[in-house]
Structure 1
Amino acid sequence: MANSPITDVIFDFCGVLLDWNTRACLEGRFPDEIVERICADDDPCGFFRYEDRMDTGEDFADIYPDVVREQGQELADIFKFYIGHYADALPRTLPGIVELLADLKAHGYGVWGLTNWSHETFHLAFEKYPRLEQLLQGTVVSGVEKMHKPNADIYELALTRFGLTAERCVFFDDTAKNIVGANEVGIHGILFENALQARESLAELGVHL
């Protein structure tokens, strides 16, 4: 670590540490055609839009009446089921990522979390995957802070809370706009593809594991 300008690595959760899969929660429990519609990329049922509101700090109880009004009772009931069984939408940690966190820590690097996630469901990540909680030295959660990537304030909060220097940090996220947000506050933002690519990207910045 002494020869590297990087001292700390910050990780997004869903799509980086965890496989987030709405379909895994709903398949076999609701008709296939409804699940396909809910999970379509253009979000016709609004599930991801409603979940994004939860990620910004809104409570499910305040959002649910909007789901009923905008989508109808049947879809609202499915959304309620989805949030109530959210752990089923987190089927695994992504391949090689736990080993990467462990290697970073073993070599003296700081490892941290920064996620857009509801304060009502985030606890499920650590309950289902306690090794992540053991490895991460701290996590900033958007729904708790009522801040949201890619806005600068949440990155700055993480730097301040963890006592980090932006230019000595790397941030991995699977969403391009969140990488732009990290770069704008001086963090080395890298679009995450998989754990091997993350290792290669870190090596290019002088992090040798």
Structure 2
Amino acid sequence: MTTPASHTLAGRQETASTPTGISDVVFDFCGVLIDWQCAAALRGHYPDSLVDRICAADDPYGFFDYEDRMDHGEALADILPDVRNDHGDEIADIFADYIARYDDSLTRIVPGMQALLEDLKAAGYGVWGLTNWSYETFHFAFEKFPRLEELLDGTVVSGVEKQFKPNTGFYRLAMDRFGIEPASSVFFDDTPRNVAGAQSAGMRAFVFENASRARHDLQSLGVRV
């Protein structure tokens, strides 16, 4: 789902800006705002050895690839037959269960990030979300962490739009939706290729490491946090 940005546009004249012209900050979700842990949704339900294989970077069952397809806008119902064909009924049932309990994988707000968003809002900056996430599971983010929905002025979700990072057009769609200019915005993502995509769209962008580093990066541009 998306959180409409249009309701914020009337207040844009009051948005803060820096000597370098920064008025808005855009954040990725998983790995930046929310600590996502694949294993947290599976541990205790399946053997640890199987969970370790599924959540490994070289996962032989392709959970991350199937989830990526959902992030691009495909429905779970359309993907499950491929999982069954590729890996059998047991793995397909585990993947469906993983998606059904996806909120368990969202373990916490990344330390320090709620305070950073609150400080940015208090200083008058626009604060937004831009995420590669399935339209079927994104609702868990705001249901589990309603404060994030309160703080963000709007969020654009790849699975809804069927566009995704790092494609330049996805960032431009978000800028249009938010009503902000790329040159006056800063983007944070934990994936370097997504940062490069934002830069190709004309945004300032940083690879996210932690909240303290993000503050330092913003301060380097004159943002008052």
Deviation at 1:43, TM superposition (A): 2.4
Return 67-76 or 51-60, whichever deviates more.
67-76
* Aligned-pair identity (%): 60
2:117 corresponds to 1:101: yes
The CA RMSD measured in Å over matched residues stands at 0.8
Paired residues in the alignment total 209
Which portions of structure 1, spanning 4 or more consecutive aligned residues, are displaced by more than 3 angstroms? 1-4
Q: Deviations over 1:14-49 (max 9, x none)?
A: 000000101011111100111011011112210000
Q: Which of 61, 65, 80 is 2:77 aligned to? A: 61
User: TM-score, structure 2 length as denominator?
Assistant: 0.91
2:132 corresponds to 1:119: no
Structure 2 equivalent of residue 139 of structure 1? 155
Q: Which of 179, 195, 200 is 1:163 aligned to? A: 179
Q: Hey, what's the Cα distance between the residues in 2 that align with 1:91 and 1:106?
A: 26
Q: Hey, what's the Cα distance between the residues in 2 that align with 1:184 and 1:174?
A: 17
Structure 1 equivalent of residue 224 of structure 2? 208
Q: Hey, what's the Cα distance between the residues in 1 that align with 2:183 and 2:220?
A: 15
Verify the 8 A CA contact 2:24 2:185 in the aligned structure 1.
yes
Q: Hey, what's the Cα distance between the residues in 2 that align with 1:168 and 1:43?
A: 39
Q: Which of 35, 38, 42 is 2:51 aligned to? A: 35
Distance 1:2 1:64, change over 3 A: closer
Distance 1:72 1:197, change over 3 A: same
Deviation at 1:2, TM superposition (A): 4.5
Q: Hey, what's the Cα distance between the residues in 2 that align with 1:32 and 1:164?
A: 46
Deviation at 1:153, TM superposition (A): 1.1
> What SS class does the counterpart of residue 201 from structure 1 fall into?
helix
Structure 2 equivalent of residue 21 of structure 1? 37
Verify the 8 A CA contact 2:17 2:125 in the aligned structure 1.
no
Structure 2 equivalent of residue 187 of structure 1? 203
> What SS class does the counterpart of residue 148 from structure 1 fall into?
coil
- The AA in structure 1 aligned to 2:28 is D
Q: Hey, what's the Cα distance between the residues in 2 that align with 1:133 and 1:173?
A: 18
User: TM-score, structure 1 length as denominator?
Assistant: 0.98
Distance 1:8 1:2, change over 3 A: closer
2:39 corresponds to 1:49: no
Could you list the runs of 5+ residues in structure 1 that have no partner in the other structure? none
Q: Hey, what's the Cα distance between the residues in 1 that align with 2:86 and 2:18?
A: 56
Structure 1 equivalent of residue 194 of structure 2? 178
> What SS class does the counterpart of residue 216 from structure 2 fall into?
helix
> What SS class does the counterpart of residue 205 from structure 2 fall into?
strand
Distance 1:10 1:3, change over 3 A: closer
